[in-house]
Amino acid sequence: MSAIDDLFARLRLEGRKALMPFVTAGDPDLEFTGAVLREVVSRGAALCEVGIPYSDPIADGPVIQASYTRALAKKVKLAEILRMLGGVAPMLAAPVVTMVSYAIIYRHGLARYVDDAQAAGAAGAIVPDLLVEESAELVKVCRERDFSLVQLVTPTTPRERAVRIAENTTGFIYYVSVTGITGERTELPPKLLDDVAWLRGRTPLPVCIGFGISKPEHVRLLAPVADGLIVGSAIVRRIAEAATRPREAVIKEVGDYVSELIAALG
């Protein structure tokens, strides 16, 4: 079992749900990224997602796109990100996964990427632009190494295809709550609860919901049907203020926000 499998098995025994903060690696710099990871885990985050900046993001909204642009402008490199993770992830009481484009994995080499990420303490990867029809080779590499390969199901994914994606996923399924791009929203689709309940009835994998979650009321609405909730843009937006405010204050604000959302999980 991977560290992510262990995490969700434990949470289910304890009757708890996972809150998963997302941060962009290298925004504003890698030292700050490491500090935020330590802060959110100390506040109770169950799992952390670290975005690997990419020049052509697939579904990221303007907040996360801007963070990728800032990190890339500082020429942050994959090797540097993994080095940072290697100094932080093994000390965290929560698994870390990378959110990474398949183009980056392919260019690095599939087995090499997984080996290097594991050596840095990562437990898995979320690959948003990996088509299930083209996933067999990476699925094989990840399964051989017990490295979780998280794939996405969206509201427009045909149900037969959603089942196929689930069969080629390990760790958890990332369920996209809305059509379109990431970003904070005031409301979530009413059909979302039914769709997630349907998917959970067809796979033993945990189902975690992301995109648009930013408020405690979102958390209270979705927690009954989800195994975990993913929060990205609302955190990245707060981190962006580190450019003009004291870093310690920004880190504390992010921690306070994560604590507020975890409290809403019940």
pLDDT of residue 184: 40
Mean pLDDT of 233-258: 94
Look at the chain and report how many structural domains it folds into: 1
Which tens digits make up the pLDDT trace of 22-75? 999 999 999 999 999 999 999 999 999 999 999 876 656 788 999 999 999 999
pLDDT of residue 188: 53
Q: Given 5, 27, 39, 49, which residue is catalytic?
A: 49
Cα 6 to chain center, whole Å?
Answer: 17
| 3-state secondary structure labels for all residues of 202-249 | CCCCCEEEECCCCCHHHHHHHCCCCCEEEECHHHHHHHHHHHCCCHHH
CATH code of the domain covering residue 150 = 3.20.20.70
Q: 87 is in which domain, residue-wise?
A: 3-264
Distance, in Å, from the CA atom of 140 to the CA atom of 149, rounded to the nearest integer, reads 10
pLDDT of residue 212: 80
Q: Given 27, 39, 60, 227, which residue is catalytic?
A: 60
Name which residue leads in pLDDT, 264 or 186: 264
Q: Does position 266 have pLDDT exceeding 80, yes or no?
A: no
In order of 17, 102, 198, the CA distances from 32 in angstroms are 27, 26, 39
| Both structure tokens of 220 | 């209270």
| Both structure tokens of 121 | 């303490």
Q: Does position 180 have pLDDT exceeding 50, yes or no?
A: no
Q: Does position 182 have pLDDT exceeding 90, yes or no?
A: no
| Both structure tokens of 81 | 């990100």
60 is catalytic: yes
Whole-prediction pTM = 0.93
In order of 87, 97, 231, 262, the CA distances from 256 in angstroms are 24, 22, 14, 10
